[in-house]
Homo-oligomer: A and B are copies of this chain.
């Protein structure tokens, strides 16, 4: 059974996040880790832009996919791992702002398959603006049996 003690998944996720080159590259930081919910934030930077000067859809996907995957990590055994199978992103407003927040939540935990949903927001002085949503699926892998697939 999954071990839901906070300390376990918290340390694991912090260490895992720190090992991701991509998180350093985009300037992201972990700002919330709780059971079934993880948040990541990053400041706007011109290196993250697409051709209109706003946040690249791929950077939005990177933030959402990472938040959702770590949300799923809070609900698996410490000897298990996760493979993202697929995800879908809807872009709802231009990624314009000084700072962005990506929240991942577990919609459906499971022994084999975990379904997550994510929301991305432009945050700043005013109210947060919803810029994107994600729906994703991860497979729980034990003994790395999924990796040699």
Binding site for B on A (CB under 8 A): 16-17, 19-22, 24-26, 45-51, 56-59, 61-63, 65-66, 83-94, 107-108, 110-113, 115, 117, 130, 133, 135, 137, 139, 145-147, 149
Contact = CB atoms under 8 A, between A and B. Distances in A.
B90 A115 contact: yes
The dominant DSSP class at the A interface is mixed
A131 B94 CA distance: 29
A56 B48 contact: no
A57 B58 CA distance: 9
A132 to B, nearest CB: 9
B59 A65 contact: no
Nearest to A49: B21
